[in-house]
Amino acid sequence: MIPTRVKWYYYRLQTMQPAEWAFRGKQWLRKQKEKRKPVNPVFTGVSVRPFDFSFPYEKMQVGGPYTVFGKELDPSAIQDFHLDIFSGKRFPQNDFSKNIDIRTDRHGSAKVVWEVNRLHYLLPLLIRYRQENNPAHLDLFMRLMRDWQEQNPYLRGINWYSNIEVCLRLINWYWCWNILESDEHWQQDEQCQAFRQQTWLPLIYQHCHYASRNPSLYSSANNHLVAEYAGLWIATLKWQFPESAGWNSYAKAGLEREILLQYSPAGIHREEASVYIQFATDFFLQSMIAGQHYGSPFSAAFEERLQAAFHYIAQLMDIRQQVPHYGDEDDGRVILPDNDHRSNNFVSLLNTAALLWKNADWKMSATTDTKTALLTAHLGETALPIAAKKYHSVCFREDGHAILRKTDSVQQQEIYCHFDAAPLGYLSIAAHGHADALSVVLHIDGYPFLTDPGTFAYHTHPEHRKYFTSTLAHNTITIDQTDQAILAGPTLWLQHYKAQIDQCTLSETTDTVTGSHNGYRQKQIMHSRTVRFDKTTDQLILSDTIQGEKAGYHIAMPFHLHPDIQVKQTAANCYRLSHPATKRVVDIQMDRMLQVHRMQANEQGPQGWYSPSFMQKQPSSFLLGECTSEKKSLVLTTTLTITTLHEH
């Protein structure tokens, strides 16, 4: 049997072009040199550019407790920066970083360890220090940083494995330094001065050095590369080491380039993972803001594409400011100054953008959160009214996304359907995409009824990873129990499909969108789906056309339900879906050719589970219609009727 690691390398090489082989070869040679002869980058000089940071600490809310994927973690209790707090397993502390196995659960979950080592808890800790003038918070901050330095010598251990993690720490340290810079005790105390010179500045320099030498290029040039440019750009604006000017120019050029590559002209993030939109967009936004701090603006093209991203986010939100889930989600945040992983970063981003560009259409709430206050502190007065929201259907034909909606803002009622005919993902590995071509998501009055089950895990729980990314885990059609593309590793796809929107017409009374994909081309089968939304009758009609070269193929059509949905069968192939937070219900009538069953979660397998966030899952259910085709081609019709239940 071929070892899993060998198979992964074999498949990974298939996604690369010759230029990338050469690049990876150079990386490998340097890794061998660094392994044989460890380096310890030491700066020869530094100047710190001050910034007049005025922040109303007394008005800011810092929630608690700090959580890691839903698990509470007291920062004062952190003793081991290599521990997986879920499994209790531990990554080797002194091994050469690039040789550590992260692709199995041998040492635990690298993702869990990295989340702790992003050090998000430092920023709210310092905000509390400025609010309370309590030296205990500052002492804890310095203790954690010294412990981190001691436990993580350069290129040793899991926390020097990934450049995105290195750069996330740099960004968090930028804001931490700004908060402390105007504090008199911090500036004058000898222990604080010694901490800066002996711990913090050496760590910052090591991180900048690493960030500049380990870019995620070619097939890996996704949100990781954006984070790497952002971290290096933001850090070198403030900390002027001898190399900073060169690093700064390199990082800025990368950010200017990547925003045009990774976002379409319509502002859609090309990784095809909706929750990743807030993560990637935040890197660009904070890079622009740091540039404003030091008089280093970006180009008009950069700002135009970033504004397009905010325009898309505003349209993607439903009436309760939720976004439909598609693709991967891992709770990633750039900074977390309010200490609250449950906060809506999409809202925070739009509120920040509204103030930066004076666009009331993007203002989502009358009050702003701690993060928006932090990012806009340099603007001074930031009052801006909330404009009345205009909701309408929209089709992004070139990008493969359509949003069909009927909204009554006064009654807070909405029928919202997201249709996905987009590519599998970004670049040759499509790392964070799911095999979800022609999937639909349905929200009623801002509550998910038909949903994407989520992500749950990356490198651990391989059976769950395979399921949650599979075609069967999405509201589309699966042929012969195979996926539309091949998952060859936790974040590695082969045989990408081509998906597209073929037709789209939108009006006040009726929206119709048709999409297709060739994910089953090797079976000589094509699938197309038309979604027709009749706004006069509140009906969504799905027409699925499957065309094959011969009969006898198996069809599975699932509809995945949010855990809050209550299900009642009302007739053959007909079910009523209800949610406790709204009086409106969905009656779903599936095609009479299908044998329909309600499938429920059990501990024997991953099917039927819903993952509300990374490393968490809840039991749920889905409706599954199945049949074997008696003809080469057939059409299946599903009708969803939305009505209001009246109390008697």
Res 179: pLDDT:
96
Average pLDDT over residues 109-115: 96
- Using CA atoms, how far apart are residues 401 and 420, in angstroms rounded to an integer? 5
pLDDT in the model for residue 3: 59
The better pLDDT of the pair 360, 4 is held by 360
What is the percentage of the chain residues whose pLDDT exceeds 70? 99
pTM of the model: 0.97
Q: Can you tell me the distance from the alpha carbon of 517 to that of 458, in angstroms, rounded to the nearest whole number? A: 26
Q: Exposed/middle/buried for 300, CB within 10 Å: 0-12, 13-18, 19+?
A: exposed
Give the confidence band of 162 by pLDDT, cuts at 50, 70, 90: very high
> Going from the N-terminus, what domains does the chain have, and what CATH number goes with each?
38-379 (1.50.10.100), 404-644 (2.70.98.70)
The one-letter amino acid at 417: C
pLDDT at 648 over 50: no
The sign one gets for the Cα dihedral 592, 593, 595, 596 is negative
How far apart are alpha carbons 156 and 436 in whole angstroms? 39
Each residue of 95-104: pLDDT tens digit? 999 999 998 8
399 in helix, strand or coil? coil
**Neighbouring-strand partners of residue 506:** 511
Residue type at 150 in one-letter notation: E
Please determine, for residue 148, whether its predicted confidence score (pLDDT) is greater than 50: yes
Give yes or no for a contact between 186 and 138, defined as CB atoms under 8 angstroms apart: yes
Q: What does the pLDDT read at residue 517? A: 98
Tokens, residue 343: 């906060």
What pLDDT does residue 1 have?
47
- Sign of torsion, CA 127 130 132 138? positive
* Residue among 525, 554, 513, 487 at smallest CA distance from 422: 513
Find the mean pLDDT for residues 185-214. 97
> To the nearest whole number, what is the mean pLDDT of the chain?
95
Tell me the C-alpha distance between 605 and 602, whole Å.
6
pLDDT (tens digit per residue) in 501-538: 999 999 999 999 999 999 999 999 999 999 999 999 99
- Spatial distance between the Cα atoms of 91 and 99, rounded to a whole number of angstroms: 11
Q: Which two tokens stand for residue 392?
A: 């309408």
